[in-house]
Amino acid sequence: MSDPTRDFFAGLAERGHEPMLQRTSGTLRFDLSGPRETEHWFVRIHRGDLTVTHGEDEADCVIRTDKELFDRLASGTANAMAAALRGVVEPLGDLQLIVQFQRLFPGPPPGRGDRGAAGYARRQS
């Protein structure tokens, strides 16, 4: 069975460098609570270079949420900013860092945005 969270972090580690984060440096820790335990993912960004590990190290920004929601963020079926505004994601520390990082989450799967675009087009007529 696929694990969207693991796949997301593995993809970041494989990238090694992310041009969108060329001007960003800092550390993030993701504390993802599950039914039996809390997973900890640690991401170091240094001028776009990405390093991903498991760990509970001190970080510039800590993001706390449940694993199920993070699976949806990692697969593009939930929006990080909307989740934070609803209070189901708890960011602590350097909030600008998480705003930069959220750009790495995938967009919605194909077909999800079609309704909004069609509605917008109808309103323009």
Helix (H, G, I), strand (E, B) or coil at 108: coil
Q: Give mean pLDDT, residues 15-41.
A: 94
At residue 18 the predicted structure's pLDDT band, cuts being 50, 70 and 90, is: very high
> Residue 11: which domain range?
4-124
pLDDT in tens, 44-88: 999 999 999 999 999 999 999 999 999 999 999 998 888 988 999
Count of structural domains within the chain? 1
Q: Are 28 and 97 in contact (CB under 8 A)?
A: yes
pLDDT of residue 109: 77
pLDDT of res. 117? 47
Per residue in 86-119, pLDDT tens?
Answer: 999 999 999 999 899 988 998 887 765 554 444 4
pLDDT at position 81: 85
72 contacts: CB under 8 Å, gap ≥ 6: 4, 78
Nearest-5° angle of CA 90, CA 92, CA 93? 160
Instruction: State the CATH number of the domain containing residue 21.
Output: 3.30.1050.10
**Residue 35 corresponds to which tokens in the numbers above?**
């039914």
